[in-house]
Structure 1
C-alpha cells in the first residue's frame, strides 16, 4: 500500500504560498463511498489503492460524460455503478449493481461477460476492425443468441484516456476520443461514475475541461441544487 501511495502522490506536492481561493468542481470522487483500501487525492480527482470509488453526483441529466486517464497500469475498471455495489471488489461488473470496462479486456455486468476485447497491435491499420471469434468460456456467459457481438477494439493502455457517455439508454466507452463500439444497455437504478483499481493502477477522473470533445449533445455531469 505504501508503494502505491508513493506512486499515487507523484506530481502532487504541497508548497508554501499565499492562499488563493479556487472554485472547486463540486463533482469529484466520494470519500464516503469507496472501498476500505482506497486512496483518493488531488481534490477528489485521483484514485489508487485497492477497490472501488464512486463519484459524488449521480448521472441524472439526459446525456452525461466524463473521462478517466490511465496514469499507471495495473488492474483497473471504469464505468458506472449504483451505491449498492460492492466497493471492496477490484473488478467492475462483478455484481448486478455495476457496468464496467475492465483492464482484462472484458465489459461486464452481474459477472456476465458482455464483450471481450481481443488485444491488437496499435501499429496495425486494421487493429480496430478485427473481430474476436473466441468461444464463450465463462459459466455465466450469455448464450450466442443473446450475446452482443464481440469487438476487438484496441484496449486502453497507460497514458490513454477513456471517455464514458451515458444517456439512460446506452453506456458507451471512448478511447482517446474514438467510440469503442461496445454499447451497454438495460442499465437500471441511479448510477454514479465508478473507478476500480488494484495492483498499482492509478486513475485520474476528469469531470470538466475534457481532453477530448464529448459526443454531440453530451455534457459534464451537472449537480442538482439539492446536492450542493
Structure 2
C-alpha cells in the first residue's frame, strides 16, 4: 500500500512531486543560474545608452531583458528632465501643455516608445556602418518600426504602453493617462521587448545639444504606476519563471 500511495502522490503532484521540483530548483541555484527578473538589457541596447537600474539616458535604442509573453500587459515610462518642474494641472487636475507631434512632420528630437525585437552587437555595427556612409536608416532598419514618437516631453510626463496579442490594436500608447490615437500599432509578429529610442539631443533646450538632461525610468511594479491601464485585462508585465 505504501508503494501505491507514493505513486499516487507523484501522479497528482503530491509531496514526492513537490520534493522533486524543489530539488531541481535547488540544483539550478547551486549551478549559479540567476532567476529571471525585470531590468534593462545592456547586451541588446545601443552602446551609446547609459543604464542605471531601471533608468536610461544618453542616445539610441534601449531594450528590457524580459519579453512580453502574456496575452495583455501594461508598463510605464516616467520622464525626468533636471531643471524642469512637472506640468501644473487645471481645475479638474488634468495636465496641461501636453504636445504630441501630429502635424505629419517627424520631429528629429522626438523620443520613441513601444517595443522592439531582439537586438545584438552585430545589429548596432551594421547601423553604424550605414550612418558612416551618409545614409539614413529607415524605421525597419534602425529597430524602431514598432515604436511611435512623442514630441516635447515634459518633466513628470508618464508614458503608458498597453500591449495585447489577441485583439486590435495590438499596441496602444498613452500620455499622462490619455490614449494617443495617432500612436497605435495594429499588428506585429514575433517576440518583442519593451523599448525606447532616445535621439541625440532629446530633452535639450535651445540648440538641442547632446546633453545629459532627459532620463527615462521603466516601471513594471503595479504599485508604482501613476496612471491606469486602458482596461482591467492589461496587467503588469510578468516575468516568466521556468526551470532550466
Relative to the length of structure 2, the TM-score reads 0.55
Residue of structure 2 equivalent to 1:99: 146
Uncovered stretches (5+) of structure 1, i.e. residues with no partner = 1-23, 105-154
Residue of structure 1 equivalent to 2:177: 177
Residue of structure 2 equivalent to 1:3: none
Structure 1 pair 67–100 and aligned structure 2 pair: CA distance change class (3 A): same
Structure 1 pair 205–93 and aligned structure 2 pair: CA distance change class (3 A): farther
Residue of structure 2 equivalent to 1:33: 44
Which of 215, 221, 228 is equivalent to 1:213?
228
Residue of structure 2 equivalent to 1:15: none
Looking at structure 2, the residues matched to 92 and 165 of structure 1 have their Cα atoms a distance apart, in angstroms, of: 27
Describe the SS at the equivalent of 2:76. Answer: strand
Point out the structure with the larger strand share. 1
Q: Deviations over 1:128-159 (max 9, x none)?
A: xxxxxxxxxxxxxxxxxxxxxxxxxxx64332
Contact 2:78 2:216 in 1 (8 A): yes
Which of 198, 213, 217 is equivalent to 1:204?
217
Looking at structure 2, the residues matched to 224 and 191 of structure 1 have their Cα atoms a distance apart, in angstroms, of: 14
Looking at structure 1, the residues matched to 36 and 68 of structure 2 have their Cα atoms a distance apart, in angstroms, of: 15
Relative to the length of structure 1, the TM-score reads 0.58
Q: Deviations over 1:83-126 (max 9, x none)?
A: 1485568x99811653112245xxxxxxxxxxxxxxxxxxxxxx
Matching of residues 1-228 of structure 1 within 5 Å: 26-41=37-52, 43=53, 45-72=54-81, 75-84=110-119, 86=123, 94-95=139-140, 97=143, 98-104=145-151, 156-168=153-165, 169=168, 170-182=170-182, 183-197=184-198, 198-199=200-201, 200=211, 201-208=214-221, 209-216=224-231, 217-226=233-242
Looking at structure 1, the residues matched to 238 and 115 of structure 2 have their Cα atoms a distance apart, in angstroms, of: 16
Residue of structure 1 equivalent to 2:28: none
Describe the SS at the equivalent of 2:148. Answer: strand
Looking at structure 2, the residues matched to 204 and 173 of structure 1 have their Cα atoms a distance apart, in angstroms, of: 16
Looking at structure 2, the residues matched to 94 and 159 of structure 1 have their Cα atoms a distance apart, in angstroms, of: 27
Q: Deviations over 1:171-197 (max 9, x none)?
A: 001111111123211211100011122
Structure 1 pair 67–93 and aligned structure 2 pair: CA distance change class (3 A): farther
